[in-house]
Each structure stands twice: as C-alpha cells, then as structure tokens.
Amino acid sequence: MSPSRATARRVIVALALASIGLAPRAAAAQQAEDETELVTWGSGGKNAGLGLGVLGHLGLGYRLNDSPYGEPFEPAGALYGVTALVKPIRWVSFGLGYEHIDLGQDRLDTPPSSFVDVERDLNTLWALARFYPIRTNWIGVYLGVGGGVTWQSLDTSTAQLISDQVSDISTSTCSGSDAASLGFRGGLGAEVPLRFGLVLMGEAGVDRYQLASESLDNCALGAGDATLLTFRAGFAFGLEHAKKPRKPPPPPPPPSDRDGDGVFDPFDVCPDVPGVPSNEPGKNGCPLPKDTDGDSFVDPVDACPTVAGVANPDPAKNGCPPPKDTDGDGVIDEQDACVEIPGIKTQDPATNGCPGDTDGDGFRDDKDACPTEKGVANDDPAKNGCPAVQLTQAEIVINQQVQFDTNLATIKEVSFPLLDEVARIIKEHPEITKVEVQGHTDTEGTRPHNLLLSQRRADSVRKALIKRGVDFMRLNSRGYGPDQPIADNATPEGRAKNRRVQFKIEQKKEPGEAKPGAPKPTGATPAPGAKPPVAPVEAPKPAEKKPAAPVEAPKPAEKKP
C-alpha cells in the first residue's frame, strides 16, 4: 500500500472517530439550546412558540340599521360566547368559537286593540384570525377578522283586546327560525397577560349578518341584513411555549487561596500566612515587616518604631514625629525667634520666624499700628510705627506731643522736627486755606491760668510754623484750656493726653477753586481758564483775646510739660 493511501485512510478513520465522539455533544448542545417552558399566553417574548388558549367573553351588540319593521324598539342586546385559540407563531393566532347575541326587540302595536313584541336571537359559529402588529411581554394589540355560519330565531308575544273591557284580553305567542346564513366581523382588540395562564382580553368592532327578512314560520318577519357595533371583553386561560434563556456555563473554580490574602497558592510564597503581593518572587504573598507604630514605616527603617512619624531623608529621623511648630508658620520652634507668633523665614536667627516689617521702619508688623507706612515710635500702641504727622479730612494729626518748657510756652528743641513735618504738610497742600492751631490743658490749676497758657502755647506753635514758611494768613491760633478733654483728668495718664496741641482744618477748597480777586501764588502761573486762588484771610486780632486772669502756681507734684 502506498504511503499516500495509508495517510488518507488514517485521516478518514480519525474523522469518523471524531464524528462519533462529537455527535452526542452536538445533540446535547442542541437540546440545551431548544429547551422550552410553558408561560402565560402572550408573555413568551421573542422566543414564543406554539400557544393554546380558551376564551370566555361577554359583551354588547348595538344594531346600526333598521329592521324590516323600521327602527328597532330596542336596538341593543347582550352577547356571550366561548372561543378556542391556537397561536402557531408570535404574530398570528386562529380560533373557532360559538356566540349568542340578543339581536334586539321590535314592537308592532296597533292601538288601541293589538300589541305585538318581537324578540330576535342569533347563534353563530365563528372562524377567527388575529394579527398582532404590536406584541410585547405585557400587552398584545391585534386586528381581528372572522366569518361564520349564523342562525336567527324569533319569539313573538301578542296581546289583543276583544271588547271594551280591560280584562277581556286575548294573548298568543309564536316562534320562528331560519336556515343558516353568513356572518362577518372585524375589530381591534388587546390582550394583557396576567399570571398563571390568565389573560385579560377586550375587543371593539363591527359585525355584519346576512339574514332573511321574509316571514319565519308564519310568525313574524326575519331580521333582514343587520349591522352591529359590538364590544366584547373577557378572560382567557392560555399557555404558550417559550425558549428558556440559555444560562452561561458556570465559571471555572478559582485557584486555591488557603490564607485568603488574594495571592493564589501557586504563586504564594507563604500560602498559609496572609500577606501582600510583591514583585519579588521570594516575598510574594508573605506578610510585610512589622510596623509597630502604624505609620507605614516598617520597624527596620523606622528611627522611632514606637512613635508614629513622617518621612525624612535623614535615616536617623525617618519615621519620627515632625519637629514642633507651635505657631504654624513653617519655622520649627528650635529655629523660631518668635515661637508663639506666626512670622516669616529670614536668614537672621534673631528675626527668623517673626513677623516682617512691611514698611521697613524698624517696627515689626505685629507691633506696627501702620504696617504699610513708615512711622516713628510711640508709647501708645495704637500709634506706634505710624507717621509722626498724618493728614485727614478734618485735621492734621500728630502722633507725638509738642513739648514745652514746664508751665511755659517755650517749645523744646526735641519737637522741632515734628513742627518741620507739620509745616511741610501744610505747604504741600495749598487746598488747605485755614488751619486752627489749638492749645489744650488738663484741669490742674485754675481755669483762667489754663486758658492763658493754652493760648500762649498755640500762639507759639503758630509762630514756629510761620517761621518755617507757612503763610500766616492760613493759620489761626486759639487756646481752649481744660474745656475739651479727650481723656480722664483723674489719672496722670489721662491728664498727659489732655495736654496737647491740635491742628484743625477750618477751610479747604476743591482743586482749581479760588476766590475772585485773590493774589496769585508766588512763582505759580495759573492754567488757562483756572479760577483765581483763595484770597488771604486776616489773622485774628490780638485785641480780641480775653485778658488772662491771675495765674495760680502749678502743683509741685505734677508739672505741665
């Protein structure tokens, strides 16, 4: 035998054996795929197959056309019936059924002596078909058509007066029927599957019956062709085959993991001790080294293994608590010159961690009442670090006192820089046309003495400002004595605050404003269209000042500066 033939024979034998082995598997797979179950009629979904059902219904028929006797006396009648249905596929069903209809009633009265009632019935055997344009698992909407064989029957009841006596009445009855005729029907209906095979059905449509109109059994005329508007509703018991959904094959059992740590035993170096995954083959699935303080640094690399800490590049501090920073300014306490006051980092150990000096006047911002303006020292924390002279809308504020010789109006040399600054402010603001230099005292000594002293000191300051280049016409001076205290005269501190000089702005002009006829400022050329400058104002006449009363000597315990 040639090698090629031997090879071919071996292939054929292999295929045959394979087909024998695969046949049972294919049959089992097909059986599993085609396995079905019985479900309620209409609820089988897309996998629905053959269905059977029995419907019982009640309803009402209303005759739309006239009977042979004209308009029916009673055009409506009840109907009832039963139908057997078969559904070969999801979208269509067929049925055979029986139905009885009360076709209505005619009244043939011949007043005043004869009264005749005719009642008609139909009995029909139907062949039906339903087509479902809409079909879901919870409702099916169908178009129904049918044809069948129908038989009509009638019963008459006659009452006739024989004489004028009401009690003298003759009554008679008769019945008649006809041979089979044809009936047709069509309508729109719906089926609602419920549970356990129960289905709710309803239909509205039109029936047409071709009935004889001649006398039936010499009793009364037949119904003639009849057209009825019909309504039918009822319950059905029905079941249908539906393919069971194919269940996916069960997943294969997971690999063994005895210690439950998520690392399967074939890869777990410590299969009986819960551990963690690791890229190192010798550690995969094994526990991590101990971390006593729970700070995520294992004890071998934790410089403080019993105290939770943070990372640190220094191995001697790694895993140890961070250095303390009481004020939270980012400068640790051991390097913070102001441990309890938030500050900034500097290179100077004496100021590192302390508040900055924004205006550069030598006063830390936390002790500078005016941190954005350069100022001078002041014993009053509310003024410390503020400029010696500040301009407001109503006053030129001095944050230092003008110093005088005791109980005199002589200005001490220490206050000259202060008055230089006041003069500079006034000269730099020509819109300020009148400033009142006010002198104030405390209540020590007599009031006349204090009034005179305050006036003399105000005059002395006014002269000092004029000497520094301020136009005398822009300055008034007045002493108020103890009449306008700003603090309590019962304490030394309060009295010190009350002994003061103030510069109140009495007159100001808006930019460009000037009084007519006023002289132009020296060296200044007014802009075109500008108003003339403000006219000079006379200084107060000395004669208007009240003469000073005798002055009592000040108390030795507290001299007025």
Closest by alpha carbon to 315, among 334, 297, 294, 332?
297
Domain that holds residue 210: 38-243
pLDDT score of 60: 93
Q: What six digits make up the tokens of 142?
A: 């169908």
> In sequence order, what are the residues at sequence separation of 6 or more whose Cβ sits closer than 8 angstroms to the Cβ of residue 391?
397, 425, 429
Identity of residue 135: R
Of residues 297 and 66, more confidence is placed in 66
Confidence of residue 539 (pLDDT cuts 50, 70, 90): very low
Which of 215, 243, 271 is where one domain is finished? 243
Which of 228, 243, 258 is where one domain is finished? 243
> In sequence order, what are the residues at sequence separation of 6 or more whose Cβ sits closer than 8 angstroms to the Cβ of residue 52?
84, 85, 86, 87, 238, 239, 240
d(CA 36, CA 24): 20
d(CA 560, CA 440): 11
99 inside domain: yes
First to last CA, the chain: 144
- What is the average pLDDT across 196-216? 91
Asked if 409 contacts 519 with a C-beta cutoff of 8 angstroms, the reply is no
Residues 504-519 pLDDT 10s = 999 998 766 544 444 4
d(CA 473, CA 435): 9
Confidence of residue 275 (pLDDT cuts 50, 70, 90): confident
CATH of the domain at 109: 2.40.160.20
Q: What six digits make up the tokens of 182?
A: 């044809």
d(CA 82, CA 84): 7
336 inside domain: no
**Residue-averaged pLDDT of the chain:** 79
In the 3-class helix/strand/coil scheme, how is 122-150 assigned residue by residue?
EEEEEEEEEEEEEECCCCEEEEEEEEEEE
The answer to whether residue 142 scores a pLDDT higher than 50 is yes
Question: What are the φ and ψ backbone dihedral angles of 429, each rounded to 5 degrees?
Answer: -125, 80
Confidence of residue 534 (pLDDT cuts 50, 70, 90): very low
343 inside domain: no
Asked if 371 contacts 360 with a C-beta cutoff of 8 angstroms, the reply is no
Identity of residue 185: R
368 inside domain: no
Q: What six digits make up the tokens of 223?
A: 């119904």
pLDDT score of 423: 94
pLDDT score of 455: 96
Strands 198-210 and 432-440, by their bridges, are unpaired
- What is the average pLDDT across 117-143? 91
Long-range Cβ contacts of 253-262 (<8 Å, 24+ apart):
259/285, 261/285
Q: What six digits make up the tokens of 442?
A: 């405390």
Identity of residue 354: C
Asked if 509 contacts 431 with a C-beta cutoff of 8 angstroms, the reply is yes
d(CA 526, CA 430): 13
Residues 151-188 pLDDT 10s = 999 888 887 777 665 556 777 789 888 888 999 999 99
Closest by alpha carbon to 454, among 551, 388, 558?
551
Residues 416-432 pLDDT 10s = 999 999 999 999 999 99
27 inside domain: no
Strands 198-210 and 220-221, by their bridges, are unpaired
* Dihedral sign computed on CA atoms, order 346, 348, 351, 353: positive
Q: What six digits make up the tokens of 469?
A: 């280049």
288 inside domain: no
Q: What six digits make up the tokens of 179?
A: 């041979």
Residues 256-268 pLDDT 10s = 878 777 788 787 7
Confidence of residue 33 (pLDDT cuts 50, 70, 90): low
The answer to whether residue 540 scores a pLDDT higher than 50 is no
d(CA 165, CA 187): 53
Residues 467-497 pLDDT 10s = 999 999 999 999 999 999 999 999 999 999 9
319 inside domain: no
pLDDT score of 222: 83
Neighbours of 500 (CB within 10 A): 20
137 inside domain: yes
Asked if 451 contacts 552 with a C-beta cutoff of 8 angstroms, the reply is no
CATH of the domain at 414: 3.30.1330.60
User: What's the number of domains the chain is made of?
Assistant: 2
**Helices 416-428 and 447-467, interaxial angle, to 10°?**
60
